Amino acid sequence: MAGIAQWWRDAAIYQVYLRSFADGDGDGIGDLRGVRDRLDYLADLGIDAIWLTPWYPSPMADAGYDIADYRDIDPVFGSLADADALIAEAHQRGIRIIIDVVPNHCSDQHPWFQAALAAAPRSPERSRFWFRPGRGPGGDLPPNNWVSHFGGPAWTRVTEPDGRPGQWYLHLFAPQQPDFNWDNTEVREELLSVLRFWLDRGVDGVRIDSAAILVKDPFLADVEQELPPQNVHAPAQQTPDTQPLHPYIDRDGIHEIYREWRRIADSYPGGRALIGEIWLPEPRRFALYLRPNEMHSAFNFEFLRCAWDAVALRRTIDDTLAAHAPVGAPASWVLSNHDVTRHVTRYGRADTTFDFAERHHGDPLDLELGTRRARAAALLTLALPGSVYVYQGEELGLWEVEDLPDAVRQDPMFHRTRGADPGRDGCRVPLPWSGTSAPFGFSPAGAAAQPWLPQPATWSDCTVEAQSEDPTSMLELYRAALRLRRDQPALRSEREPLRWIAAEPGVLAFRRGDEFACVINLSDAPVELPEHDSVLLSSDPLQGDLLAPDAAVWLRLRGR
């Protein structure tokens, strides 16, 4: 096992999407009380750390990713005292706490943005953001042709204090999320101070939101052909390593920022992790963020995007390991999060890849097949070397809720694209804990409000209560796998790298150490298992020594 101080290198990290995890006070929205009440569930699941999505005061234009005060907790989630209690109670159970920090933008209600609106063009208050005059007659057109990730222009015009239409400001996401200007020293110092504020309170790490897009080309030049909103991160195989992807992705100067963050994180005792949300299709460029004096870890989205296909998965795994090795950083493995289609659904479709630009929403779906594959994928993911993320509900086998009525959808991605993009609500539906009808224990009995998104009636079979002690359930598979992952030194040790074992086409087989092997059958015929001592765990009942299609197994090998 990695040393305590570098706990993130092999940790199993559970993502709590706070609004949808557990509602402690009955308002239909998840909160810190709810998380505190479920810490025993998480300890029993066998995870090492929790990453909590933003908990700060926010008008919730983007579900909390629009922060109005970086040093407090939104009353809908609780109070600073609740946060302190959660940190302490998690630590008592050996669970570390990672919080989300959003440095690219704040809320339009943040005091700095309000001050900027009240100030004059070219004032120090405006220089913390990207304010520019418009183009065309009367400055009626946005300063450039960039589009927002949520659809529409990346610029909004303000009304000046004297009542006249005035400058425009940049927002790569919703208009309520103005982008900070990271060339501004006050911005840099403020976010460093925010980092210290939370590390002082005892958090064990931060997940850095939209980490690769902080620095903008100050010329704010038009891009030759603006990409459709969600395409900016799409794999660009032709792009050589040195060519900018876009005037705001992976710009010069970005690494300097994280070197400062790293100096601060490393000055605290106990190991405090910096984990980047970096969507970059090129593994070598991605790995530059993980050099020894930058971030400790980053999410591996290439693995998440990858098709359920033996050749593609093996290539992604090899590329990942090859990119991380030279910088000495641990790889990470992610199947789902709060921005993407749940993988039970992805794996149940003809096209099993993920792309923001093409979510395949509503495509024909075989949920049973998707679930089989998700079980196998869990065993694959939990056997790979490095850290691993579990997105809340994946341990229950939840699928994307695709039939949410438009009227209940809340994601700005849905609204700003006028429904062209279904958005991300379908993976954010509140968790089912117990009982046979909604709210399935998400809210306390007698709660005043319904869950903020409706839960499917069929989730009665998916509750924690229904799955507990059912040896065939997804939950028990995750519990068993996470427990074994803890107990098998080879699975946690960096001295036991992944070694592929020769296997038939369509089959992935690898060892960790001399005594452990994982085999995943992605072909359409049963395959024979390699010689082994015993079966530790399988995603599907074995038929003798045969592993069925879309199943995976963990084996104890004969020691040598």
In the complex, the smallest distance separating the C-beta of residue 409 from ligand TEU, rounded to whole angstroms, is 14
Residue 181 CB contacts under 8 Å (≥ 6 apart), including other chains: 127, 128, 129, 130, 187, 216
Residues 350-369 that bind ligand TEU (CB under 6 A): 356
Active site residue 226: no
Binding flag, residue 286, ligand TEU (CB under 6 A): no
When binding is defined by CB under 6 A, the residue of 108, 204, 339, 515 that contacts ligand TEU is 339
Which residue lies nearer to ligand TEU by CB, 62 or 496? 62
Which residue lies nearer to ligand TEU by CB, 14 or 65? 65
In the complex, the smallest distance separating the C-beta of residue 319 from ligand TEU, rounded to whole angstroms, is 20
User: Pairing mode, if any, of strands 165-170 and 332-333?
Assistant: unpaired
In the complex, the smallest distance separating the C-beta of residue 412 from ligand TEU, rounded to whole angstroms, is 8
In the complex, the smallest distance separating the C-beta of residue 372 from ligand TEU, rounded to whole angstroms, is 28
**335 secondary structure, DSSP code:** S
> What is the number of residues in the chain?
560
Residues 319-338 that bind ligand TEU (CB under 6 A): 338
Which residue lies nearer to ligand TEU by CB, 173 or 510? 173
Collapsing DSSP to helix, strand or coil, 461 comes out as helix
Which residue lies nearer to ligand TEU by CB, 247 or 513? 247
In the complex, the smallest distance separating the C-beta of residue 479 from ligand TEU, rounded to whole angstroms, is 27
Which residue lies nearer to ligand TEU by CB, 33 or 246? 246
Q: Which of 15, 20, 16, 25 lies closest to 78 in space, CA to CA?
A: 25
Q: Which residues of 268-301 are buried (b: 16+ CB within 10 A; e: fewer)?
A: eeebbbbbbbbbbbbbebbbbbbbeebbbbbbbb
Binding flag, residue 209, ligand TEU (CB under 6 A): yes
Catalytic residue of the set 125, 209, 339, 411 = 209
Which residue lies nearer to ligand TEU by CB, 127 or 231? 231
Which residue lies nearer to ligand TEU by CB, 230 or 443? 230
Site string for ligand TEU, 379-398 (x = CB under 6 A): --------------------
Cα atoms in the Cβ-side hemisphere of radius 13 Å centred on 330: 26
Residue 441, sorted as left (phi over 0), alpha (psi -120 to 50) or beta, turns out to be: left
Which residue lies nearer to ligand TEU by CB, 207 or 485? 207
Cα atoms in the Cβ-side hemisphere of radius 13 Å centred on 125: 12
Query: With helix as H, strand as E and coil as C, how does 491-514 read?
Result: HHCCCCCEEECCCCCCEEEEEECC
**Which residue has the CB atom at the shortest distance from ligand TEU?**
65
Which residue lies nearer to ligand TEU by CB, 338 or 373? 338
CA distance 293 to 150: 33
Binding flag, residue 102, ligand TEU (CB under 6 A): yes
Phi, psi dihedral angles at 509 (to 5 degrees): -140, 130
Q: How many residues bind ligand TEU (CB under 6 A)?
A: 14
Q: Judge whether 508 and 522 are in contact, CB under 8 Å.
A: yes
411 token code pair: 């994601």
Binding flag, residue 55, ligand TEU (CB under 6 A): no
Binding flag, residue 210, ligand TEU (CB under 6 A): yes
58 token code pair: 């926010």
DSSP string, 263-332: HHHHTSTT--EEEE----S-HHHHHGGGSTTS-SEE--HHHHH--S-HHHHHHHHHHHHHHHGGGTPPPE
Residue 162 CB contacts under 8 Å (≥ 6 apart), including other chains: none
Active site residue 277: yes
Residue type, 52: L
The residue whose two tokens read 């993976």 is: 427
When binding is defined by CB under 6 A, the residue of 65, 77, 146, 452 that contacts ligand TEU is 65
82 token code pair: 């609740």
Binding flag, residue 230, ligand TEU (CB under 6 A): yes
Residues 500-539 that bind ligand TEU (CB under 6 A): none
In the complex, the smallest distance separating the C-beta of residue 150 from ligand TEU, rounded to whole angstroms, is 7
Catalytic residue of the set 277, 394, 425, 550 = 277
In the complex, the smallest distance separating the C-beta of residue 117 from ligand TEU, rounded to whole angstroms, is 21
In the complex, the smallest distance separating the C-beta of residue 73 from ligand TEU, rounded to whole angstroms, is 18
CA distance 115 to 108: 10
In the complex, the smallest distance separating the C-beta of residue 62 from ligand TEU, rounded to whole angstroms, is 5
Strands annotated E in 345-385: none
Binding flag, residue 112, ligand TEU (CB under 6 A): no
Cite the active site residues: 209, 277
Residues that bind ligand TEU (CB under 6 A): 62, 65, 102, 149, 173, 209-210, 230, 233, 277, 279, 338-339, 356
